[in-house]
Structure formats: C-alpha cells, structure tokens
C-alpha cells in the first residue's frame, strides 16, 4: 500500500471502484437479511419478558421489523431536526480545524515531525 503522493487520482482501481463489486455486496447483504429473517421460522425464541407483558415480542420478525422501522424513523426525525437546529458552521464564531484543514491533505503529515519539534521548542522555552 504505497501512498504515492504523485498518483493523486490516477491510481489503480480499488475493490469498490468497480460498481459490479458493490452490486455483488448488496446482493449478498440482501441474502443475509433474508436468511436472518427466516431464522424466526427455524427457532423458537424465548420471550425476554415473563408472562404476557409484551406478547408482540414473540411475533415472527419482531426484531427485524423493529430494527428497520426504528432506523427509518431515526433518520426521518433527524432530517426534520435539521430544519430547526441546523446553522452555518461558524454560527458560534469559532470553527475547529480552521487553521489545520488545508486543502493539501498529504502535506500536513509531512510537516508533522517538524511540527512536533517546534512544539517541543515552544515547551522547552518555559
């Protein structure tokens, strides 16, 4: 894994650059979901609650449906929250990494060791 700085975007094709591979992954994932769902027919899950506290939990596919619905709800609600809560990045007048996030990402780690040295120098001064 050489991180050749000169090969910016023209580097070799990686695993997920190929849409075919991504498609295969998605199909495998869907198959997994189907299998996991079908496990409810193969096993009897013991209920988490005693007695008749939460009968719905024993329904086939309860956990699958709950997980799916929970996450869809989560995202939809969060999306609505943005309308109320989202402000510009410098809303409080201070942006993290404003001095560090230079566009040349690779350059920063090159300058890291000397950076550390200069910090050291600064520390040594006291």
Partner 1 sequence: MAATETHAQYVMGETVRLLDGPLQALLHPALPLLVAGVVAALAPPRLRKALLVLAPLWGAWNLLGFTSGDLVSAELAGFELILLRVDKLAFLFALLFHLAALLAGIYALHSDDRMQQVAGLLYAGSAVGAVFAGDLLVLFFFWELLAITSVFLIWARRETASTRSGLRYLLVHIASGVLLLIGAALHWIEFGTLVFERMDLGSAASWVLLLAIGIKCCFPLLHTWLVDAYPAATELGTVYLASFTTKTAVYALARGYEGCEPLIWIGMAMAMFPIFYAVIENDLRRVLGYSMINQIGFMVCGVGLGAGLGVNGAVAHAFNDVIFKGLLFMSMGAVLLRTGRINGSELGGLYKTMPQTAGLCMVGAASISAFPLFSGFVSKSMVMTEAAHEGYVVVWLALLFASAGVFHHAGIKIPFFAFFAHDSGLRPKEAPLNMRVAMGIAALLCIAIGCFPNALYALLPYATDYHPYDTTHVVQQLQLLFFSALAFVTLMLTGIYPPELRSTNLDVDWFARRAAPRTLRVLAAVGGAIWYGVLAGLADVLKVVRSVVRWLHSPAGRLGEPWPTGTTVFWAATLLGLLLLFSYLGSAL
Number of residues located near partner 1, criterion CB under 8 A: 77
Q: Which of 19, 41, 52, 91 binds partner 1 (CB under 8 A)?
A: 91
CB of 20 to partner 1, least distance (A): 16
Residue whose tokens read 């189907």? 34
Of 20 and 100, nearer to partner 1 (C-beta) is: 100
- Window 55 to 84, contacts with partner 1 (CB under 8 A): 61, 63-72, 74-79, 81-82, 84
Tokens in use for 116? 């550390």
CA 29 to chain centre: 17
Q: How far apart are CA 45 and CA 41, in angstroms?
A: 10
């Amino acid at each position: 894994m050489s991180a050749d700085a000169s090969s910016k975007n023209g580097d070799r094709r990686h695993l997920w650059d190929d849409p075919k591979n991504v498609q295969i992954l998605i199909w495998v994932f869907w198959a997994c979901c189907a299998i996991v769902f079908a496990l409810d027919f193969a096993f009897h899950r013991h209920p988490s609650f005693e007695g008749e506290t939460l009968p719905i939990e024993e329904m086939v596919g309860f956990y699958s449906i709950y997980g799916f619905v929970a996450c869809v709800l989560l995202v939809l609600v969060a999306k609505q929250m943005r309308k109320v809560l989202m402000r510009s990045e410098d809303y409080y007048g201070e942006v993290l990494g404003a001095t560090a996030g230079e566009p040349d990402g690779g350059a920063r780690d090159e300058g890291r060791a000397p950076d550390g040295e200069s910090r050291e120098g600064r520390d040594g001064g006291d």
